[in-house]
Amino acid sequence: MTQMAEHTRAVHTPVSPADPAAPDAYVLRCVDVRDETADVKTFVFEPEGEEGFGWVAGQFLTLSQEIDGAGASRCYSISSAPSGSRRLEITVKRIAGGSFSNWLHENLRPGRAISAHGPVGGFTPTELQLTQPFELDYEARAQRQRYLFLAAGSGITPIMAILRTLLVKGNPIDAVLVNSLHGPDDVIFRRDLEAFSVRRGLRVELVSSTLVTADQRRGTKLPAGIGISPGRLDTELLRSLVPDLVDREIFSCGPAGYLDGVRTMLDAAGCATDRRHEESFDIGVHQDAASAGIPSTNKAGAFTVTFARSGRSIDCPAGSFVLDAALADGVPVPSSCGLGMCGTCKSGLLEGAVEMNHAGGIRPREIAEGKILLCCSRPTEDLVIDA
């Protein structure tokens, strides 16, 4: 991920009411909903208006919606392949206690619209960052690309977009997907995985943490033609499934604990770090920090941050991000990925200055208008923020 450093001071630039909508802000209208499992749905959207919607496989959107009278935003990977169609899909697992995922499952139906920001993200194989299927020269196209995709839970969604795109583009591939799940009923994208199992150059392996019985193997609960291993993924099992894993470009996506385990396995297997890519949207990182009661430092070595709308003021320790300090002090600030990418915590800087290290979640025009991303901005002076 490329971080862009900005030293930003409050700028008061009048914005014309006729200023066109930013190209990364959309209204998406739901046109279809599909059940993937008992607690996972795929939502199909079309952007409103005549303008198309462009993305590359592996990117994500930030969806925003008012829920119970308050604004809320969450990041979701696009699970469909860019194919020239105006349609795109996200696939969402319903989380116990998750207000946004529950709202989507209970309320989002064909005909209903939702706000979206993006797409952003760099979880994309190099060959898919090209705008045309065959921009590679003949020799490069003939060279089979070798991948290992590791997914757990909803981590399959950006990887599904990548696999679909690799197959659509038609370049030769040599890919293995190792998908970890709880049991046979939790297989997301069952039809796609069954279709992948008969495609040359792509092998699918499932790892089930619950015991898979002989009846389940013979029955219809397991995708046809796919290998399944009981237990949990570890270095020994990974090596047995993918003996040449050190020679592959590796893309991993899943919960933070899963990714921690994957890093340990890949280190033990001797996989080069420059050939590894990972994606995680554990939106609870900041919320967990707040609920853990991280103490604010005393005034010494801290800057005062005032939120103009609520009138709340907090101390932000020197070197700390504004968002972390706000949530630690119980100030509710919209946030999602926390990586300087999604733009959810974008706010106006009315007074003061910050050092901002972002990864594309804010555009130069917005910075010139005095906006900052709270998740990746450190105060260099006392601040007043329009939030």
Number of separate domains in the chain? 3
Q: Report the amino acid identity of residue 275.
A: R
Residues 70 and 130 in one domain: no
CATH of the domain at 329: 3.10.20.30
- Say which residue the tokens 């003939």 belong to: 142
Residues 103 and 162 in one domain: no
**Per-residue pLDDT tens digits of the chain, which is 387 residues long:** 444 555 665 543 333 322 323 336 789 999 999 999 999 999 999 998 766 678 889 988 888 888 888 777 788 999 999 877 789 999 999 988 888 999 999 999 999 999 988 787 788 998 887 544 434 444 444 456 899 999 998 999 999 999 999 988 776 789 999 999 988 788 999 889 888 877 778 899 999 887 665 555 555 556 666 878 888 999 999 999 999 999 999 999 998 889 999 999 999 999 999 999 998 755 433 333 333 333 333 344 789 999 998 889 999 998 889 988 888 787 877 777 766 677 778 899 999 999 998 877 787 888 989 999 998 899 999 999 998
CATH of the domain at 115: 2.40.30.10
Residues 175 and 267 in one domain: yes
CB atoms within 10 A of CB 269: 15
- Which of 70, 88, 120 terminates a domain? The answer is 120
C-alpha pair distances (Å), 203 with each of 56, 115, 184, 230, 265: 23, 37, 18, 18, 20
Residues 157 and 248 in one domain: yes
What one-character DSSP code corresponds to residue 78? B
Give CA 62 to chain center in angstroms.
9
Residues 112 and 136 in one domain: no
**Residue 350 main-chain phi, psi, to 5 deg:** -85, -35
Residues 173 and 108 in one domain: no
Domain annotation covers residue 330: yes
Spatial neighbors of 243 by CB under 8 A, at least 6 apart, are: none
Q: What is the pLDDT of residue 131?
A: 47
Domain annotation covers residue 331: yes
Q: What is the pLDDT of residue 290?
A: 33
* Residues β-bridged to residue 2: none
Residues 241 and 327 in one domain: no
Give the separation between CA 248 and CA 17, rounded to whole angstroms. Answer: 51
Domain with 320 in it? 302-386
Give CA 102 to chain center in angstroms.
18
Spatial neighbors of 215 by CB under 8 A, at least 6 apart, are: none
- Which of 120, 139, 172 terminates a domain? The answer is 120
Structural tokens at position 373:
């991303």
Domain annotation covers residue 5: no
- As to burial, measured by CB atoms within 10 angstroms (0-12 exposed, 13-18 middle, 19+ buried), residue 350 is middle
Closest CA to 168 of 147, 149, 192, 187: 192
- Say which residue the tokens 């997907």 belong to: 177
- Say which residue the tokens 């990746």 belong to: 376
- As to burial, measured by CB atoms within 10 angstroms (0-12 exposed, 13-18 middle, 19+ buried), residue 281 is buried
Domain annotation covers residue 296: no
Residues 326 and 348 in one domain: yes
Domain annotation covers residue 187: yes
Residues 193 and 133 in one domain: yes
Domain annotation covers residue 172: yes
Give the separation between CA 366 and CA 381, rounded to whole angstroms. Answer: 20
- What pairing do the DSSP bridges indicate for beta strands 249-253 and 276-279? parallel
Residues 233 and 327 in one domain: no
Domain annotation covers residue 110: yes
Q: What is the pLDDT of residue 64?
A: 85
**Residue 196 main-chain phi, psi, to 5 deg:** -60, -35
Give the separation between CA 294 and CA 254, rounded to whole angstroms. Answer: 26
- Say which residue the tokens 């300090």 belong to: 325
Structural tokens at position 281:
């949207």
* Residues β-bridged to residue 379: 354
Give the separation between CA 310 and CA 357, rounded to whole angstroms. Answer: 26
CATH of the domain at 166: 3.40.50.80
Domain annotation covers residue 229: yes
- pTM here is 0.73
